[in-house]
Structure 1
Amino acid sequence: MDDKPASPVDKNPWDTLRRFTNARIALGRAGSSLPTAPLLAFNLSHAQARDAVHQPLDTAALHDALRAAGFDTLDAASAAPDRDHYLRRPDLGRTLSEESAAALAAHGKALHEAPDVVFVVADGLSAYAAARHATPFLDALRPALDGWKVGTTVVATQARVALGDGIGELLRARIVVVLIGERPGLSSPDSLGIYLTWEPRIGRSDAERNCISNVRPEGLAYAPAAFKLRYLLNEARRLKLTGVGLKDDSDTLLAASAKSGGAIDSQ
């Protein structure tokens, strides 16, 4: 006779679908509440998301990693003097500090040749994302940069996406690519966003950018994200624009590549 007590948790009939997603589905039920395990997991994820917003970016470690990967680097900071101002005043995060603007302007004037593309690695709303994913992503992108004049990579703190417009303008870049920590979710505290802007200058709108979102091993992995960016870079240079006028058809090429069993060049 089996004396093992019955489980107090009622399983959800969709339980088998959980292996396909990190979304909180089919968690079961204990009376009128969640079971203890998913409740604790939710509290942990919530704490990780909050930590991601407030954790400062280790710029020294990021500079070391980028330089070891072969990328020259510079520092920049927004006009937000601290994290509190950054979170309460988004406008300050879109504007360079006076010191950074002066330093970048001097660097840009000293260039013998304007770069085709400048990369900005920014903390955004998740320093975890920039610290963990920017360097390996750029390393995956490296083969696509043959034939491109790549400018100095800028590590930016207390930064919003639009900070890249001023950086790109001062460094005379034809294209700026901002790699920035996205707003953390309850299953993704370290999601990296990539924003591409043709002829960056202060005053560009979000409609003039293209975005690749959720770049991380658990989301859009480095290789397909690099393929997408390579496609967009080539198309931006060909069409001389980004934003709503530039459509991302890279998925069609990836599907054709998978069907043919070979690699397809995105130009």
Structure 2
Amino acid sequence: MDKITKPGNNEPLSFLKEFTAARIAIGATGNSIPTAQSLEFKLAHAHARDAVYSVLDTDGLEGALAQFHRPVLQLHSMADSRAQYLQRPDMGRKPNEESLNRLADQITGDDVVIIIADGLSATAINQNVLALLQMLIPKLMAAGVKIGPLCLVQQGRVAIGDDIAHELKAKLSVVLIGERPGLSSADSMGAYLTYGPKPGLKDNSRNCVSNIRPGGFDVATAADKIFYLIQESFRRKLSGVQLKDNEGLLGK
């Protein structure tokens, strides 16, 4: 059998490293891993921890979002602090009273409302959300989709989009949120789409486009995918497990 390792490399799976950032073929020194790989692991773990405690750049994002000529609402979940957010996931799923009052003044009944939440990695939002919206929003506008206020949410989880969109009487919500950071993906953003958003919905009511980041699902491809799912959601008047991603499949 031909060898699949590169010349001078003793790790039989090393050829796979060009296809993934996962920790494979890291070698061994006795019963342990080499010092360099051990230090890389510790650094990646530190990046992941930093991402969990990173802070949403609300002022910077609000200024940048002005280019889309939509109202920008700064909102907050019921979780007052990061510690409470991590210990009480339920409180991250509901807007606080001040935010509910702010939403009550903005009811427009739009087609789509976009909610931008820090989630478990504000770093992911700070670095990726603007580039995604610069591609997604023009597609929606060209298709005649009426877009509501852009909502910036601190200490938010995915389900908070249900309450926000319901309060605004939007037909569909798109939640852009920082995902739980992995050891090679501290900057990963997810997009969750829900048709007919309302409090109490379960995760099977949503469609997800995950791992949006330079080293994963690039923003151009993600914008195309999200736009496709929004179109299909409006056409079929549903989302979640009943809405399959058949884009690009024969006979769709």
The TM-score range, normalised by the shorter chain, is over 0.9
Aligned to 2:232: 235
Q: Deviations over 1:141-182 (max 9, x none)?
A: 133212110111000010000000010011111000000000
Aligned equivalents of 1:133 and 1:228: distance in 2? 16
Please give the secondary structure, in 2, of the residue aligned with 1:187: coil
Cα deviation code 1:225-251 (max 9, x no counterpart): 111111110111011110111111124
1:148-159 to structure 2, matched below 5 A, reads: 148-159=145-156
Aligned match of 1:203: 200
Q: Identify the residue that residue 226 of structure 1 maps to in structure 2.
A: 223
More moved, 12-21 vs 231-240: 12-21
Q: Which residue of 2 aligns with 1:167?
A: 164
- For 2:96, the equivalent position in structure 1 comes to 97
Structure 2 distance, partners of 1:71, 1:134, is: 16
Matching residue within 112, 117, 126 for 2:121: 126
Is the Cα contact below 8 Å between 1:12 and 1:29 reproduced in 2? no
Structure number with larger C-alpha Rg: 1
Question: Could you tell me which residue of structure 1 aligns to residue 3 of structure 2?
Answer: none
Matches within 5 A, 1:33-48: 33-48=32-47
In structure 2, the gaps of 5 or more residues are: 1-8
How far the C-alpha of 1:71 sits from its partner, in A, is 4.3
Supply the distance in 2 between the matched residues of 1:70 and 1:183 (Cα, whole angstroms). 31
Identity of aligned residues (%): 48
Q: Is the 8 A contact 1:227 1:250 kept in 2?
A: no
Q: Decide which of 136, 139, 149 is 1:141's aligned counterpart.
A: 136
Residue 36 of structure 1: how far off its partner (Å): 1.2
Q: Secondary structure at the match of 1:202?
A: coil
Q: Hey, what's the Cα distance between the residues in 2 that align with 1:103 and 1:69?
A: 20
Instruction: Give the corresponding residue for 1:263.
Output: none
Query: Contact (CA 8 Å) 1:116, 1:173: kept in 2 or not?
Result: yes
CA contact (8 A) 1:93 1:160 kept: yes
Deviation, structure 1 residue 70 = 4.3
5+ unaligned residues in a row in structure 1: which ranges? 1-9, 257-265
Q: Cα distance, 1:69 vs. partner?
A: 4.8
Please state if 1:178 is matched with 2:160: no
Q: Distance in 2 between matches of 1:164 and 1:59?
A: 17
Q: Are the aligned partners of 1:117 and 1:148 in contact in 2 as well (CA < 8 Å)?
A: yes
Please give the alpha-carbon distance, in whole angstroms, between the structure 1 residues aligned to 2:138 and 2:105. 30
Q: Distance in 1 between matches of 2:247 and 2:69?
A: 27
Deviation at 1:62, TM superposition (A): 1.2
> Which of 212, 217, 221 matches 2:214?
217
Query: Cα offset for 1:68?
Result: 3.3
Between the aligned partners of 1:211 and 1:103, the Cα distance in structure 2 is 28
Give the Cα–Cα distance (whole angstroms) in 1 for the partners of residues 242 and 29 of structure 2: 51
